[in-house]
Amino acid sequence: MRQRDAFERAGVPAFASPERGVEAFDNLARFVAYRELRLQVPSPHVDAFAHDLQGARRIIDAARGAGRQVLDEDEATRLLACFGVPIAPTHLATDADDAVRAAQRIGYPVVLKVLARGVTHKTDVGGVLLGIADAAAVTEGFATLAARLAARMPQARFVGVVVQALVRRPHGREVLCGIARDASFGPVLTFGLGGVTVEVMRDAAVALPPLNRVLARDLIARTRAARLLDAFRGSPPADLDAVVEVLLRLSDLACELPCVRELDINPLLADEHGVTVLDARIVVDDGALAPDARFGHLAIHPYPRSLERPLRLRDGSELLLRPIRPEDGEAQRRFIARLSQQSMYLRFHAPLRELSLQRIVRFTQIDYDHEMAIVAVPRDAGSSDDEPALMHGVASYTRNPDGHSAEFGLVVEDSWQGRGLGSALMDALETCARSRGIAALIGYVLRDNHDMCRLMRARGYRGETDAHEVDVVRYVLIWPAADEPTR
């Protein structure tokens, strides 16, 4: 004991047992791994998917109107289709003749799955028939599934069958992905090995939405399923990008539909040609159909696309004002590199030449709930462009610990100064701050920064000088009352 006390007095870690020491080392290794992951700057490519949000919300609203929280398979697949998730051709049939017509439209062979209220896992009641090859087999299969349900789960209510194309993929791997609800963090995304042995294998990792491609690939890499997706024993590697895209689309679904409590895609069949959903289960609750202005159901605020707006300057130049994104890391670095030494000094109050990787990540990977950065980029800068956007100005604020005020900063590229861009950026920043309940914006401006001082006075900011920092003017804008947050 006295030896351990001596180590502790010297600042050297000392543990009561080898197991505690191993646990501490493991925590340290995880910290380093997560820090390195955070310092990875994503590619400039941005995945901006078009979703049918109204269609998805109508599906959920109809199910809840019927008193159901568990969507049937037809509803679940249609909801996933609203988010662009690839699904096997599927049709709900309530009688044998309808099932035959659906099979003929889809093309033989098909799969028949029982659809019944009260049945969670169809395989538990023998509710799946594979390789149905003709109309007679469809008719017989419909009757067989109804009889099996009546014999094995008489309390369930038979609705019909789901007719689905039989997907034949010799190199297909079965994985699962979905959404679960954590009591502390809200929606979490899951990924792992799929199939009927999922509860035995228990291979799954979780991540918080929203995801980008870096985070989605990390989620996959933390599972044994990642090795299954690689090439092995003559099978080519699965299309990993297609799996990543499904996770990104599920991330969007978790952000846009707060009422989704559970979502399981199992299996998601993946091979070298892409992915296909073969089965899905979705559970909803009485939560909101759309997120609030601050995405309060999430632990991490997603990219606020609603703040994007076009801008036309006095000289006719057309720009896009939008929130900064993690993918803007390289654009931010190039923007800073183009600033003159005077502009750098006036913005950062120090003779910097460039920003470190840590500071670039800090400026671009922000928590939109507590801070905001509005950037000015060319109007025609496409979100799918692999080249970094050309950034011409940035206005940002960080909420102070009191929660009601925020400190702001503004910098405009030298060649764009004097054209009204600084005022437009401040207007967008102030509008965002007021809509999010901030009552006062505070900025510290060098007294020698005459252009910025004029801009602040013109916008109604009150200048204050600290006796201990006579070279800095503290500019404050206070609104009479904070507006209620709006989406």
Q: Which domain holds residue 27?
A: 2-38
pLDDT at 487 over 70: no
* 361 or 370, which is more confident: 370
Tell me, what amino acid is at 251?
S
Cα dist. 5→2, 17, 25, 44, 242 in Å? 5, 14, 20, 52, 55
Indicate whether 100 belongs to any domain.
yes
**CATH code of residue 411:** 3.40.630.30
pLDDT at 354 over 90: no
Indicate whether 215 belongs to any domain.
yes
Burial of 308 (0-12, 13-18, 19+ CB in 10 A): middle
**CATH code of residue 210:** 3.30.470.20
Whether residues 311 and 450 fall in one domain: yes
Whether residues 261 and 405 fall in one domain: no
Lowest mean pLDDT among 186-190, 312-316, 386-390: 386-390
Of 272, 300, 328, the domain-final residue: 300
Indicate whether 483 belongs to any domain.
no
Whether residues 315 and 431 fall in one domain: yes
CA distance 177 to 196: 14
pLDDT at 485 over 50: no
CA distance 201 to 29: 26
Q: Give the count of domains, the chain.
A: 4
Whether residues 64 and 178 fall in one domain: yes
Tell me, what amino acid is at 61?
D
Confidence bin at 36 (pLDDT 50/70/90): low
Whether residues 33 and 51 fall in one domain: no
Describe the strand order of the beta sheet including 128-132 as a list of residue ranges.
90-93, 157-165, 110-117, 128-132
Whether residues 263 and 406 fall in one domain: no
pLDDT at residue number 394: 97
Whether residues 404 and 451 fall in one domain: yes
pLDDT at 40 over 70: no
pLDDT at residue number 203: 84
Tokens representing 230?
């690689």
pLDDT at residue number 235: 85
pLDDT at residue number 43: 53
CA distance 248 to 34: 20
Phi, psi of 64 (to 5 degrees): -65, -35
Lowest mean pLDDT among 134-138, 176-180, 199-203, 472-476: 199-203
Whether residues 391 and 328 fall in one domain: yes
pLDDT at 382 over 60: no
pLDDT at residue number 1: 56
pLDDT at residue number 463: 94
pLDDT at 151 over 80: yes
Indicate whether 247 belongs to any domain.
yes
Indicate whether 484 belongs to any domain.
no
Confidence bin at 42 (pLDDT 50/70/90): low
pLDDT at 482 over 70: no
pLDDT at residue number 384: 47
pLDDT at residue number 44: 52
Indicate whether 486 belongs to any domain.
no
Indicate whether 487 belongs to any domain.
no
Average pLDDT (386-395) is: 85
Residue whose entry in the numeric block shows the structure tokens 């070279």? 471
Indicate whether 93 belongs to any domain.
yes
Whether residues 210 and 142 fall in one domain: no
At 113-148, the pLDDT tens digits run: 998 888 877 888 889 999 999 999 999 999 999 999
pLDDT at 245 over 60: yes
Whether residues 136 and 178 fall in one domain: no
> What's the mean per-residue pLDDT of the chain?
88
Of 118, 147, 166, the domain-final residue: 166
pLDDT at residue number 484: 45
pLDDT at residue number 360: 83
Average pLDDT (227-234) is: 87
pTM (two decimals) = 0.79
Whether residues 98 and 132 fall in one domain: yes
Whether residues 335 and 381 fall in one domain: yes
Are 278 and 267 within 8 A, CB to CB?
Answer: yes
Nearest CA-CA partner of 374 in 452, 301, 322: 322
Of 285, 300, 315, the domain-final residue: 300
pLDDT at 223 over 90: yes
pLDDT at residue number 75: 92
* 122 or 99, which is more confident: 99
pLDDT at residue number 180: 96
